[in-house]
Amino acid sequence: MSKSSHILRPGKRPAKPPEMIATRVPISPSTNKSASMTIPISYLNSTLNCFAAVPRGAEELAAAELAALGISGAQPGKGGVAFSTDRSGLYRANLWLRTASRVLVQLALFPCSSPAELYAGVHAVPWQELITPEMTLAVDCSLRDSALTHSGFVALKTKDAVVDRIRESCGSRPNVDTASPDVRINVHLHKNLCTISLDSSGDSLDRRGYRLERNEAPLRETLAATVVALTGWDGSVPLADPMCGSGTIPVEAALMAAHIPPGFQRDFGFQRWLDFDKELWEGICADAEVGIRRLPVGLITGYDLDNRALLLAGRNVAKAGLEGQIHFFHAALQDFRPEGDKGVVILNPPYGKRLGEDDDLRELYCQIGDVMKKYCRGWTGYVLTGNLELAKYIGLKASRRYVLFNGAIECRLLKYDLY
């Protein structure tokens, strides 16, 4: 048998009977409810069981994004969405999901309360069909409510089992490269149930490739995309961000409106896998390119007091391929006067936990309320803040509140109907 016929090729069955390691039931790494439903099947089943990790609060949106890609039946859970798809779906999910930070492909699921169980469960995966001794690997680990409590130890034990299995089969072992591995393995232990996955994204999907430098408090790209999606903005009315900083909200909005895939500027982990289907991938990218449209002048605008942040915003826009399609202005919030009788205004003010102190910010939040009330009639206002005390100073009644997380900081996206 040729070497390539041993390679994991989701969607194709190998000539020899595969080992029984995976599960047919999509399992969220954050739950073990499905443990009793585990049905061992071939890891080369044509269906890939995937899990897209998303910021908390964005799970339903991610399921809707998958449905829009033709991937139905996604199950939103806490911090992610479980779904089944084929290789084309996996590639498209990585390219197109705006809210997800990574897409994992599950290989194995087993009960695990001891180092020996961990080693045996990982060792049972035929790693030699996924990783050659010449390739590099890294192991990421997350643990919750389990007997094994040290993530560094679990990652190390997992790595040992992987490289031992490859050495037994090939005579030599791959090296570890934590910075830029060919294959990133993900171990998730929750309530003594261990899920082993391949990370098909590689670098986090937040890293779109357009942000070259960071300003003081940039919003994560996935969170900015989540905020824009929650506003329901569809590109038919103007969108303005009067405190745009490095422009993450305008850029994510523009990528959406221009139908540019968020991952168009970057590579993905699956491109270094042995089973990478270049032709399929190039077809998916070519299809995406056909749908891109140019945005009309004035559709998306950003404003900020900080010239340095605006400089970064301009560079991000250029790198994102959106030059001339978002316009930025150096302006204080008190001078913000949106044009047109309707639109969406999104503000992400400082909220005292990372920039400035609450005392200094009360006046700013009062100003946000004043400006929205006086100058944004007919528009819909949104404020993303991690400080509910400060939010009271806006002085307007929110018609809706969404709970979101900016890293570990619990935030609210507050909606204001401005009459």
**Interacting residue ranges for ligand SAM, rule: CB under 6 A:** 215, 217-219, 243-246, 248-249, 304-306, 309, 332-333, 348-350, 364
Q: Which is nearer to ligand SAM, 112 or 371 (CB)?
A: 371
Contact (Cβ atoms closer than 8 angstroms) between residue 351 and residue 390: yes
Q: Which is nearer to ligand SAM, 27 or 310 (CB)?
A: 310
Q: Which is nearer to ligand SAM, 32 or 222 (CB)?
A: 222
Question: Taking the complex as a whole, how short is the minimal distance between the CB of residue 222 and ligand SAM, in angstroms?
Answer: 12
Question: Taking the complex as a whole, how short is the minimal distance between the CB of residue 323 and ligand SAM, in angstroms?
Answer: 19
Spell out the alpha helix ranges (H) of 207-247. 221-231
**DSSP letter, residue 141:** E
Is residue 327 helix, strand or coil? strand
Residue from 41, 43, 23, 42 nearest 33 by CA: 23
Q: Which is nearer to ligand SAM, 81 or 254 (CB)?
A: 254
Q: Which is nearer to ligand SAM, 67 or 332 (CB)?
A: 332
Q: How far apart are CA 226 and CA 232, in angstroms?
A: 10
* Encoded tokens for 69: 């890609």
Q: Which residue is nearest to ligand SAM (CB)?
A: 245
Question: Taking the complex as a whole, how short is the minimal distance between the CB of residue 217 and ligand SAM, in angstroms?
Answer: 4
Contact (Cβ atoms closer than 8 angstroms) between residue 68 and residue 23: no
Question: Taking the complex as a whole, how short is the minimal distance between the CB of residue 161 and ligand SAM, in angstroms?
Answer: 41
Looking only at Cα atoms, what is the longest distance across the chain? 74
Q: Which is nearer to ligand SAM, 97 or 309 (CB)?
A: 309
Residue from 84, 86, 89, 18 nearest 51 by CA: 84
Question: Taking the complex as a whole, how short is the minimal distance between the CB of residue 363 and ligand SAM, in angstroms?
Answer: 9
Q: How far apart are CA 371 and CA 337, in angstroms?
A: 8
Q: How far apart are CA 195 and CA 30, in angstroms?
A: 10
Question: Taking the complex as a whole, how short is the minimal distance between the CB of residue 364 and ligand SAM, in angstroms?
Answer: 6
Q: How far apart are CA 222 and CA 230, in angstroms?
A: 12
